Structure 1
Amino acid sequence: MLLVLMGLPGLYLRHAGSLRWWGWISFVLVFATILSETLHSVLQIFDYPVLFKDITDEAALKKVSDHVMEVPTTQPGGTLMRSTFMMFLGGYALLGLSMLQARTLSRWPALTALAFPLLMLVPMDGVPHQFMVIFNLFYLPILWYGAILAFEPDFSRTSGTAAASSALPS
């Protein structure tokens, strides 16, 4: 996720000359969401061993597991997680729209960025761990754009300084 956070500004700077205001809002939303998810992962790494260290039987495991599962739904953490999720969906919809409108790179990653939020509405009862599958698919358009930027032949013809300075809005 940190690689995505480092590459995201490059993707938006590549489109800077043709992005509209909603494109920059999508950058803020997507960046903030991925940063929040990264920080949430770090908290889980350090908190779960502390929460689960004194468990000796099934009843204690169920009690602690139920407590951990209540956080996203009932406690103040749930409000943060729901707002982050809405930022994620809105950011990706705006990402797809802004990249389609900019027309500086391929439109297919932008179309996939628009399609993935719609996947959240499709019932997937037979798919195990459906949110894990869908959530990881959200990174596909950014990975796709990263590959285009890394291997795009036209981008290598311009000097790095000239390309970066021409991408910044004046």
Structure 2
Amino acid sequence: MGLPGLYLQHAGRLRWWGWISFVLVFATILSETLHSVLQIFDYPVLFKDITDEAALKKVSDHVMEVQMTQPGGTLMRSTFMMFLGGYVLLGLSMLQARTLSRWPALIALASPLLMLVPMDGVPHPFMVIFNLFYLPFLWYGAILAFEPDFSRTSGTAAASSALPS
């Protein structure tokens, strides 16, 4: 309900790029979810017979090769491009719609820039970055779930009139 609910909240005020952002963000989340499920089921099989460092390195290198160069690399690159386009369009469309707070939209616009920030001292930087990508949805979800009067958040009564009473 979350992602469709967020976009349906803005449905009357979204322009064409808002609907493109919905498709791109949905595809990004779906791709990330599928990637995670594959890891959960594949890694125990791939790593179960590891007995020494050399075997661990060989299997780890193979996993990275599949993820970066073979079909997995295509999935990773396409997911990254969908993420970049989807989040920029999400931020722009939510700012333009003006039905909810602008701060999550600004975070969505800034999220792709995190990929450019050097994170040499941060352990597992992509785990940090990818978790931050979901912050706008958490924030919007909290607004939609707990804000009793959307007009206070947006400055307009149009948002609250679109909700069923």
Q: Same fold (TM over 0.5)?
A: yes
Shift of 1:160: 21
Match of 2:14 among 19, 27, 39: 19
* Aligned residue pair count: 165
- 1:90 deviates by 1.0
Instruction: Give the aligned partner of residue 143 of structure 2.
Output: 148
Flag the 1:57–1:28 CA change in 2: closer, same or farther, 3 A: same
Q: CA deviation at 1:40?
A: 1.2
The 3 A distance-change label for structure 1 pair 82 and 168 is: farther
Structure 1 residue 161, shift from structure 2 partner:
20
Tell me by how many angstroms 1:72 deviates: 2.2
Of structures 1 and 2, the one with the larger relative CO (CA 8 A, separation 6+) is 1
Change (3 A) 1:52 1:160: farther
- Any gaps of 5 or more consecutive residues in structure 2? none
Task: Classify the secondary structure of the residue corresponding to 2:139.
Answer: helix
C-alpha distance in structure 1 between counterparts of 2:160 and 2:151, whole Å? 15
Contact 2:101/2:153 (<8 A) preserved: no
1:42–1:161 CA distance, 2 compared to 1 (3 A)? farther
| Superposition map of 1:10-159 within 5 A | 10-154=5-149
Secondary structure at the residue paired with 1:105? coil
- Further displaced range: 23-32 or 113-122: 113-122
What's the TM-score, normalizing by structure 2?
Answer: 0.89
Deviations along 1:94-119, one digit per CA (max 9) or x if unpaired, are: 10000000000010110111111111
Task: Tell me by how many angstroms 1:65 deviates.
Answer: 0.6
**CA spacing shift, 1:152–1:50, aligned 2, 3 Å:** same
| Deviant stretches of 4+, over 4 Å | 155-170
Residue 110 of structure 1 contacts residue 141 of structure 1 at CA under 8 Å; is this kept in 2? yes
Question: RMSD across aligned C-alpha pairs, in angstroms?
Answer: 4.0
The TM-score normalised by the length of structure 1 is: 0.86
For residue 69 of structure 2, give the secondary structure of its aligned residue in structure 1. coil
- CA displacement at 1:47 relative to structure 2: 0.6
Measured at CA, do residues 97 and 158 of structure 1 come closer, stay the same or move farther in structure 2, by a change above 3 Å? closer
Give the gaps of 5 or more residues in structure 1. Answer: 1-5
1:167 to 144, 159, 162: 162
